[in-house]
């Protein structure tokens, strides 16, 4: 699909543009093609792709048939990808040519999976050095564009479209697929009203999606954006200055982001930040991780009171929301429960705790369809508390009912019997201008059980002693990391999610307990 850029295009990626009617026609032809491969309602179509219009074409095509799409996280190891492919019982795999080597060795033993290869487009090649080497698919596998030409548009009945099955990252075991029942018409109406309010997904927006479509929120933004947006721009990979350029070029009104992107934007030189006009922005929506207070305040100062935040999980959907004014009155909050949402903060004995006291966060949204983990009902029951579920977060409700997150339960460090929250220490580090990125983890310690280790990427202008001095002015002494190590980079996925498991493993090998 190599349509030249056009001001009328609905969907833009790099120099390519595709209009609404062309996208609809291609998706309808793909639906007939998938049906010819045996895809029926309730079946799974796996997508191993970076951000590309074909990702959305295939998603729309599967939805026409009532099939689930299963976006695969291409950061997974080949064995994890093969596991997900088997676990979801995929009938079809749609894969970018440069990502095919991750699964090609295992496909020979899975003849039941039809493979459709998408040539890796120029903008993705530019964003991912090395991908050009395998940008074209092999001759023995069907090419997506050539395959489409064999089919007329699907004219069969439309089936209620389920949401994508999003697989969790597997940090506590095998990846788990969140499979949700299709929404009833009443539920769908309430969900659409909620998404318009919480995500700003309303007719006429000009939306940019810079995060990977294999994550739940960017996936929802893109799929709903196709229905309501005047323009939807996919970024193949987040780049801070490129985002500013796209905002100005497309007069973007709406963004979906994560806090790490804010940090990278704020690290741009002042003259670069001032070069671009971002006055078209009406709503910038973020979630996925706690945002350091100083970072968010700087973003509001720069972009104005257009920054909104929500909290939820892949399992629960959105349960809280706050705009800039709410946040400035309650710094650090991730919002107040939306209509239909319930939040309970629970201690280790399963008792609800009072305002101001931290505990495990259980949430639910009354009109959102229930879910299970694919083939793992027991895991679903394990995280439940009636209709409420836990995403593994620790937090508290303040006296006005606003939710504040402390950290992930699995990331909490217990040092000498004291609970320490890495996100608090990371926020303090990111408030230091010399720090470009950081991660705080617990490592074995003979005296305290665990010690706090900070892994820091810096600009070369600071030292371990200077960092300790600055941190001691922001944190209680017992929270200041006992160890600081400098790194060139830290492992993050393209949504900015820190892969802490990779950081912790070397320190806990051979230890009696591993985090």
- Condensed to tens digits (0 to 9), the pLDDT of residues 350-398 reads 899 999 999 999 999 898 887 777 777 677 777 777 888 888 888 999 9
Per-residue confidence (pLDDT) for residue 9, from 0 to 100: 82
CA angle centred on 166, ends 172 and 374, rounded to 5°:
70
Domain 418-508 falls under CATH 1.10.490.10: no
Q: In which element (H, E) is residue 325 found?
A: helix 324-329
Nearest Cα neighbor of 373 from 93, 170, 167, 172 is 167
Distance, CA of 231 to CA of 210 (rounded, Å): 14
Do 362 and 346 meet the contact criterion of CB atoms below 8 Å apart? yes
pLDDT tens for each residue of 257-282: 988 899 889 999 999 999 999 999 99
Do 238 and 199 meet the contact criterion of CB atoms below 8 Å apart? no
Do 309 and 322 meet the contact criterion of CB atoms below 8 Å apart? yes
Instruction: Delimit the domains of the chain by residue range.
Output: 11-162, 194-408, 418-508
Domain 194-408 - what CATH class?
alpha beta
Q: Is the dihedral of CA 329, 335, 338, 343 positive or negative?
A: negative
Residue 122, both tokens? 């120029």
Residue with tokens 């009104």: 253
What is the second-level CATH architecture of the domain 11-162? 3-Layer(aba) Sandwich (3.40)
- 431 HSE (CA, 13 A, CB side): 18
pLDDT tens for each residue of 184-237: 888 889 988 998 889 999 999 999 999 999 988 899 999 999 999 999 999 999
Checking if the pLDDT of 77 tops 60, the result is yes
Per the rule left: phi > 0, alpha: psi between -120 and 50, beta: everything else, 447 is alpha
Same fold, 11-162 and 194-408: yes
Per the rule left: phi > 0, alpha: psi between -120 and 50, beta: everything else, 149 is alpha
**Measuring CA to CA, how many Å separate 199 from each of 35, 363, 424?**
33, 19, 27
Distance, CA of 492 to CA of 288 (rounded, Å): 13
Instruction: Give the chain's mean pLDDT.
Output: 89
Strand partners, 341: 365
Average pLDDT over residues 317-331: 95
């Amino acid at each position: 699909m190599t349509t030249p850029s056009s001001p009328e295009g609905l969907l833009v990626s790099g120099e390519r543009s595709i209009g609404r009617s062309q996208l609809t026609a291609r998706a309808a032809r793909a639906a007939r093609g998938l049906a010819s491969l045996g895809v029926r309602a309730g079946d799974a179509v796996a997508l191993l792709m970076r951000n590309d219009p074909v990702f959305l074409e295939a998603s729309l095509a599967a939805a026409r048939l009532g099939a689930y799409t299963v976006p695969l996280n291409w950061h997974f190891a080949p064995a994890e990808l093969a596991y997900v492919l088997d676990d979801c019982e995929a009938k079809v795999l749609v894969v970018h040519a440069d990502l095919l080597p991750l699964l090609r060795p295992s496909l020979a033993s899975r003849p039941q999976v039809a493979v459709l290869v998408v040539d890796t487009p120029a903008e993705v090649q530019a964003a991912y050095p090395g991908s050009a080497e395998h940008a074209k698919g092999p001759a023995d596998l069907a090419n997506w564009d050539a395959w489409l030409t064999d089919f007329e548009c699907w004219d069969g009945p439309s089936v209620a479209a389920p949401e994508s099955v999003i697989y969790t990252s597997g940090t506590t075991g095998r990846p788990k697929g969140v499979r949700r029942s299709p929404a009833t018409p009443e539920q769908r109406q309430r969900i659409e009203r909620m998404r318009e309010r919480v995500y700003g997904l309303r007719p006429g927006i000009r939306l940019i999606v810079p995060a990977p479509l294999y994550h739940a929120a960017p996936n929802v933004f893109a799929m709903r954006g196709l229905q309501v947006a005047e323009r939807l721009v996919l970024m193949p990979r987040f780049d801070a200055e490129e985002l500013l350029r796209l905002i100005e070029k497309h007069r973007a009104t709406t963004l979906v982001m994560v806090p790490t992107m804010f940090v990278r934007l704020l690290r741009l030189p002042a003259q670069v930040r001032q070069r671009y006009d971002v006055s078209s922005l009406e709503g910038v929506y973020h979630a996925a991780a706690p945002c350091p207070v100083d970072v968010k305040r700087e973003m509001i100062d720069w972009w104005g009171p257009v920054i909104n935040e929500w909290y939820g999980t892949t399992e629960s959907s959105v349960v809280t929301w706050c705009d800039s004014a709410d946040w400035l009155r309650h710094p650090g909050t991730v919002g107040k429960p939306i209509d239909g949402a319930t939040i309970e903060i629970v201690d280790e004995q399963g008792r609800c705790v009072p305002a101001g006291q931290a505990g495990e966060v259980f949430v639910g949204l009354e009109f959102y369809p229930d879910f299970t983990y694919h083939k793992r009902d027991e895991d679903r029951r394990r995280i439940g508390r009636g209709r409420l579920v836990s995403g593994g977060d620790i937090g508290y409700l303040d006296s006005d009912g606003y939710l504040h997150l402390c950290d992930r339960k699995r990331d909490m460090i217990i040092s000498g019997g004291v609970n320490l929250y890495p996100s608090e220490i990371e926020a303090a580090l990111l408030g230091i201008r010399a720090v470009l990125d950081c991660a705080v983890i617990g490592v074995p310690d003979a005296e305290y059980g665990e010690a706090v280790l900070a892994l820091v990427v810096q600009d070369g202008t600071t030292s371990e002693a200077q960092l300790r001095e600055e941190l001691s002015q922001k944190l209680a002494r017992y929270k200041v990391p006992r160890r600081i190590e400098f790194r060139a980079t830290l492992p993050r996925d393209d949504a900015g999610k820190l892969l802490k498991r990779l950081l912790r493993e070397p320190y806990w090998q051979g230890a009696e307990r591993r985090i």
